[in-house]
Amino acid sequence: MNIVLYDTTLRDGTQRAGLSLSVEDKLKIARRLDELGIHYIEGGWPGSNPKDAEFFRRIPGTALRHAKVAAFGSTRRAGIRCADDASLQALAAADTPVVTLVGKSSVFHVERVLETTRDENLRMIAESVAFFKQLGKEVVYDAEHFFDGYAADPDYALATVAAAAESGADCVVLCDTNGGSLPRAVEECVRAVRALVRTPLGIHTHNDGGVALANALAAVAAGCVHVQGTINGYGERCGNMDLIPLIATLQLKLGYAALPSERLPQLTEVAHAVAALANLNLDPHAPYVGRHAFTHKAGLHAAAVAKVPESYQHIDPARVGNEMHVVVSELAGRSNVRLRARALGLEAGDREREVLQRLKELESRGFQFEAAEGSFEMLVRRAAPDYAPPFETVGFTVVSEKHGEQTTAQARVDLRVAGVTWHGAADGQGPVNALDRAARQALRHAHPELADLRLVDYKVRIVDEHLGTAAKPRVLIESDFGGERWTTTGCSENIIEASWQALSDSLELALVRRRERRSAGKKATSRRSHTEAAT
């Protein structure tokens, strides 16, 4: 059975407080969703703001290969003709193959919010749908507050969707606009509509009761063939139904076809890419695609997954493009260290005991490596007998000043590279920024590749809250190095020192990985030239 996926990240998703997308971001997301294989992309509400109108002007130029673009708007206003309704005009002017019209299903909303009559609302729905059918559009009809309307007055709610269906709507979508419905009621309701309406049915749910996904699955079980949602569940209040776990669940567990199966491994990357464009951090515990969706911590579980991965995992993470992680913590046994080192492509070998000891010692001082795989990697690497650090810290000075309204920060860093000490000095927006810039300045001749390293997140936590100001800050820094990401950590009574530990781990890791790749490249080339010479 095929399920049609309708994405409304660009319209309903942007209703989320704190989420704002530029036209450029919206075009990028549309392209990415098209590559994934989403069938419909709702671009926005052309009558509502100039940004959405510009999106519709520019989207034809992006030449989507597969997805159809939908423009969203509401049924005509009460008491006027469709041809005289400015917002229907704007919708038509968006020039999309699909128009999605939202109309009222609940008497309460008709009388109290629209302040019109039941009959006029039915005419508004029927005439607006017919208006766009005459223009040759595919029309999706969104029945707003359908489940609440049905609970209050089932006959009237059914009459509204019948009006849309009889006027030629191509799909009738039942909306749980306030997000308060429960799966059983949704299922019953969908069956009631199915008994009356032959038009394909769709479902649009919100997560206010924490069951948006369960409601969508219940609706599909009852016969809905079109599902609306957003990537990562972005949306107003508690969010829309999250398309990512919906797709994975439909496809991997229920045997429905939504995306071509070879595209499912793109889910993790798409979830992260949309989060990055929205300037939000993807919940690390998001089902299927979160960084920790397949992370094992306790020694016992980790030992089991090392032997049989499926022992504590509901699916093979590779099927959605994710991977298994093992976190290292105070609970860690040697098998955790071994597994994690192996996952990084390193062999701790004889050094396992030594790494574990050092780990436990640092954790007792307030370090935490569970979320800092970059610092863990450096710990393993430094334990190697032939490890050569790309630089060593000689010292640093940081000065932060405040004069009136203005605060400034300067840092000076001295680093030794191959026996030579280099000095770097820089201003920054804050002391950590100044430190970072000064360190790169010191390394700019020896290691120009560090220009590609970006700090994307900086977090500080107090380790022992009850100790108040004497407590130790723990710093986590997330870095991006040409698409590779890692988190490093530091912990000290001195917040600048804690930041430097995390920062220098990140700089060092970038250099060590680059060095390793270069030497692997050289070996491969020399191997190739050997074989070429032999053949």
| Total interface residues for Zn ion by CB under 5 A | 1
Q: Where does this chain touch Zn ion (CB under 5 A) — which range of 9-17, 160-168, 359-367, 438-446?
A: 9-17
Q: Under 8 Å CB-to-CB from 136, ≥6 apart: which residues?
A: none
Q: Are strands 484-491 and 68-74 parallel, antiparallel or unpaired?
A: unpaired
Q: CB-based burial of residue 531 (10 Å sphere; 0-12 exposed, 13-18 middle, 19+ buried)?
A: exposed
Give the Cβ contact number of residue 408 at 10 Å: 15
- Nearest residue to 328 via CA among 349, 352, 293: 352
* Residues present in the chain in total: 535
Closest CB 175 distance from Zn ion, rounded Å: 6
Q: Give the DSSP H/E element, type plus range, for residue 438.
A: helix 431-443
Q: Are strands 171-176 and 201-205 parallel, antiparallel or unpaired?
A: parallel
Q: Which is nearer to Zn ion, 12 or 52 (CB)?
A: 12
Q: Which is nearer to Zn ion, 229 or 366 (CB)?
A: 229
Amino acid at 349: G
Amino acid at 22: S
Closest CB 142 distance from Zn ion, rounded Å: 8
Helix (H, G, I), strand (E, B) or coil at 138: strand
**CA within 13 Å, CB half, 358:** 16
Q: What's the 3-state SS for 286-348?
A: CCCCCCCCCEECCHHHHHHHHHCHHHHCCCCHHHHCCCCEECCCCCCCHHHHHHHHHHCCCCC
Closest CB 264 distance from Zn ion, rounded Å: 25
Residue 465 — left, alpha, or beta (φ > 0 → left; ψ -120 to 50 → alpha)?
alpha
Q: Where does this chain touch Zn ion (CB under 5 A) — which range of 11-19, 156-164, 215-223, 291-299?
A: 11-19
Compute the C-alpha angle 381/487/350, nearest 5°: 20
Helix (H, G, I), strand (E, B) or coil at 257: strand
Q: Which is nearer to Zn ion, 12 or 170 (CB)?
A: 12
Token pair for residue 183?
Answer: 């799966």
If binding is defined by CB under 5 A, does position 42 make contact with Zn ion? no
If binding is defined by CB under 5 A, does position 148 make contact with Zn ion? no
If binding is defined by CB under 5 A, does position 12 make contact with Zn ion? yes
Q: Give the DSSP H/E element, type plus range, for residue 143.
A: strand 138-144
Which residue has the CB atom at the shortest distance from Zn ion? Answer: 12
Q: Which is nearer to Zn ion, 143 or 328 (CB)?
A: 143
- Nearest residue to 12 via CA among 181, 173, 220, 192: 173
Q: Where does this chain touch Zn ion (CB under 5 A) — which range of 7-15, 291-299, 367-375, 436-444?
A: 7-15
Closest CB 270 distance from Zn ion, rounded Å: 21
Pairwise CA distance, residues 379 & 512, whole Å: 13
Q: Which is nearer to Zn ion, 71 or 379 (CB)?
A: 71
Closest CB 240 distance from Zn ion, rounded Å: 6
Pairwise CA distance, residues 164 & 199, whole Å: 9
Q: CB-based burial of residue 19 (10 Å sphere; 0-12 exposed, 13-18 middle, 19+ buried)?
A: middle
Contact 29, 9 (CB under 8 A): yes
Closest CB 71 distance from Zn ion, rounded Å: 16
Q: Where does this chain touch Zn ion (CB under 5 A) — which range of 4-12, 42-50, 466-474, 513-521?
A: 4-12
Q: Which is nearer to Zn ion, 12 or 187 (CB)?
A: 12
Closest CB 457 distance from Zn ion, rounded Å: 30
Pairwise CA distance, residues 383 & 386, whole Å: 9
Q: Which is nearer to Zn ion, 175 or 409 (CB)?
A: 175
Pairwise CA distance, residues 356 & 211, whole Å: 42
Q: Which is nearer to Zn ion, 239 or 321 (CB)?
A: 239
Pairwise CA distance, residues 284 & 327, whole Å: 13
Closest CB 236 distance from Zn ion, rounded Å: 7
Q: Which is nearer to Zn ion, 237 or 353 (CB)?
A: 237
Closest CB 376 distance from Zn ion, rounded Å: 42
Q: Which is nearer to Zn ion, 175 or 491 (CB)?
A: 175
Interface map 311-350 toward Zn ion (x if CB under 5 A)? ----------------------------------------
Residues 284-303 that bind Zn ion (CB under 5 A): none
Give the Cβ contact number of residue 80 at 10 Å: 12
Closest CB 202 distance from Zn ion, rounded Å: 12
Closest CB 326 distance from Zn ion, rounded Å: 39
Alpha-helix runs per DSSP H in 80-134: 86-93, 107-108, 118-134
Q: Which is nearer to Zn ion, 45 or 131 (CB)?
A: 45
Q: Which is nearer to Zn ion, 139 or 435 (CB)?
A: 139
Closest CB 20 distance from Zn ion, rounded Å: 18
Closest CB 44 distance from Zn ion, rounded Å: 13
Closest CB 479 distance from Zn ion, rounded Å: 37
Q: Where does this chain touch Zn ion (CB under 5 A) — which range of 5-13, 342-350, 387-395, 498-506?
A: 5-13
Q: Which is nearer to Zn ion, 173 or 305 (CB)?
A: 173
Q: Which is nearer to Zn ion, 99 or 332 (CB)?
A: 99
In order of 27, 171, 376, the CA distances from 472 in angstroms are 45, 58, 20
Token pair for residue 206?
Answer: 């919100």
Pairwise CA distance, residues 123 & 171, whole Å: 18
Judged by the rule CB under 5 A, the positions of this chain that interact with Zn ion are 12
